[in-house]
Amino acid sequence: MHLYNAWLPPPVADATKKEKESFAGVLSSVKESYLVDDPESVYSTLKWISVINLFIKAKSEVSLEDVASLVEFGLQVFHASQDKLYAQVRWGNVLVSLLNKFRKKLTLKVDWRPFYDNLIQTHFTRNTGPEGWRVRQRHFETVTSLVRSCRRFFPPGSAHEIWSEFRSLLENPWHNSVFEGSGFVRLFLPTNLNNEDFYSREWINTCILQWDSIPNCQFWNSQWAAIMARVIKNYKSKDWEDLLPEIFSRFLNMFEVPVASGGGSYPFSIDVPRNTRFLFSNRSHTPSKAIAKSIVYLLKPGSLAQQHFEKLVNLLEQYYHPSNGGRWTYSLERFLFHLVYTFQKRLQQEKEKPDKQIELCLGQSERESFVSTVLKLIDRGQYSKNENLSETVAAATSILSYVEPSLVLPFLVSRFHMALETMTATHQLKTAVTSVAFSGRSLFFMSLSASPMETDDINDADMFRDLLMISLTNALLGMDANDPPKTLATMQLIGSIFSNVTKNNMNDQIVPLLKKCSI
């Protein structure tokens, strides 16, 4: 039973055990409402979609066989409703939800060709249907999301078929079809275990040459960076050492940061057709996610990737400084966020499911090197005038404080005391308080807990305890009706500290920091 349902009142929690039978009944009702010989009967199935969504949102325990049967039936209905965009949007959305929730538990085989035919017929040919542009836009977003969710279920040989299908579009870099080809390759090319044999060193070299064929085009760079990031992530045993200098040079070039009096953007950029740019747009409008994912999964014991990463950070850290903000700040902020988030995700995966190739897992030295490098970006961006960047820095500090507290928490303490002492840059206090609030739990662990994160130096524990006490005793001074941001940060700090206070089972007394320290 899911934790959400376990906390329900006992009669309601007992009733949730019947959800399997209820879901099976919904499945049979959906199938009965659809007639293969009657294409219009697809509309009679739409009333059940809201019911299926309730099972997904309610964290119900349902049979995987029923889920697989529903997904297969939904794909059948989706492909049969070729000219009914509204019905495809409704079914596509619920299929995406089901596949994303149960993706690691299902065993399916999904063909990629029907999705491609659907896109070509609806969006890449003259189709004078009655639907407006809004429905067509939703339809394209739904189909592409469904393809991304189904990629892991493409059968063996699909990668070769897809590459053979679209490679002809990539041959002439001076024709606009090359952009469509790159968009289709990025969308359809699977990187699952069934197609690992396709990604040979010869293909990787071909991919790099293809990437080189069009310079100074952010759209083109984004497509190939995303493809390479997925290959690097899913096939950890590939050897990238001799390609690292070229890969990291491309990463630096894609940030488009200015040098000296230059503008930073490509001086002679290549225009992409509007329709292609609209259909294959990057959700975040920046390749930062693909770059961060590639860097994190390139890190290995004994690899030179960490050295190249440090060189990249040494060049980019100056642009995190408050005085060097500009149009590139958003991409740098996203880069920092995805670096830390992806690193945390990789560590979690290696802990929960240890890799068969233990030599590829990150060790203590790799973690310390990565955190030390990222702290350079955090140090520069902590007091940024860009609110999104300063909030990302606080969140990144919180995450890394659990990874390597011995490196992050002393940095946090020094920056907090510096903010308290400053008389000219009072805005630093708000950011420093927010960082302490976000890292409150890890500070408690280091101060009080005898966990594996326990520090070896008792002076460090006292330092962290003093930081919590100083920040708490100064909290009331931060409550200022004329300064809402500082007030909000103060409330976050108070909430963070007291939400981590526990009770002693012996005497039901509060036993945190307040018991060991005197105010």
User: Please, are residues 416 and 436 in contact by the beta-carbon 8 Å criterion?
Assistant: yes
Residue 505 has pLDDT above 70, yes or no: no
Higher pLDDT: 87 or 467? It is 87
User: What's the one-letter identity of residue 216?
Assistant: N
Is residue 283 predicted with pLDDT exceeding 70?
no
- 3-class SS string, 317-373: HHHHCHHHCCCCHHHHHHHHHHHHHHHHHHHHHHHHCCCCCHHHCCCHHHHHHHHHH
Residues in CB range of 353: below 8 A, 6 or more apart: none
The per-residue pLDDT for 516 is: 47
Residue 172 has pLDDT above 80, yes or no: yes
CA nearest to 393, candidates 321, 482, 345, 486: 321
Mean pLDDT in residue range 257-266: 69
What are the phi and psi torsion angles at 84 (to 5°)?
-115, 85
Asked if residue 356 has pLDDT above 50, the reply is yes
DSSP-assigned letter for residue 108? -
- Cβ atoms of 396 and 378 within 8 Å: the answer is yes
Which residues are bridge partners to 510 per DSSP?
Answer: 503
Where residue 511 falls among pLDDT bands split at 50, 70, 90? very low
DSSP state of 454: -
Distance separating alpha carbons of residues 33 and 16, to the nearest angstrom: 26
Q: Looking at the predicted structure, is the pLDDT value of residue 295 above 70?
A: yes
Report d(CA 299, CA 414) in Å as an integer. 29
Instruction: Write phi, then psi, for 125 (nearest 5 degrees).
Output: -135, 160
Residue 266, pLDDT score: 66
| pLDDT reported for residue 127 | 66
User: pLDDT tens digit string along 411-436?
Assistant: 888 887 777 776 555 667 778 788 88
pLDDT of residue 382 exceeding 90: no
Q: Is 361 exposed, middle or buried, given 0-12, 13-18 or 19+ CB atoms closer than 10 A? A: middle
Q: What percent of the chain has pLDDT over 90?
A: 46
- Please determine, for residue 260, whether its predicted confidence score (pLDDT) is greater than 70: no
Average pLDDT over residues 7-20: 82
How many residues are recorded in the chain? 519
The pLDDT mean for the chain works out to: 84
- Look at residue 286 in the predicted model and tell me its pLDDT: 82
The stretch 479-503 carries a mean pLDDT of: 77
Q: What is the pLDDT of residue 352?
A: 81
The reported pTM is 0.86
pLDDT in tens, 16-36: 788 889 999 999 999 999 998
The predicted-structure confidence for 112-146, as pLDDT tens digits, reads as follows: 999 999 999 888 876 666 777 788 889 999 999 99
- For 430-454, what is each residue's pLDDT tens digit? 787 888 888 878 877 776 654 444 4
Report which residue type is found at 3.
Answer: L
Query: What pLDDT does 517 receive?
Result: 44
pLDDT over threshold 60, residue 375: yes
Q: Is the pLDDT of residue 70 over 90?
A: yes
Report whether pLDDT(259) > 90: no
Query: What is the C-alpha to C-alpha distance for residues 264 and 327, in angstroms, rounded to an integer?
Result: 10
Write out pLDDT tens, residues 201-241: 999 999 999 999 988 888 999 999 999 999 999 998 888 99
What's the pLDDT at 386?
Answer: 86
Summarised one tens digit per residue, pLDDT across range 304-334 is 999 999 999 999 999 998 888 888 899 999 9
What's the distance, CA 405 to chain centroid?
23
Report residue 509 as tokens: 């007394």
Instruction: State mean pLDDT over 103-110.
Output: 91
Domain boundaries, the chain: 1-152
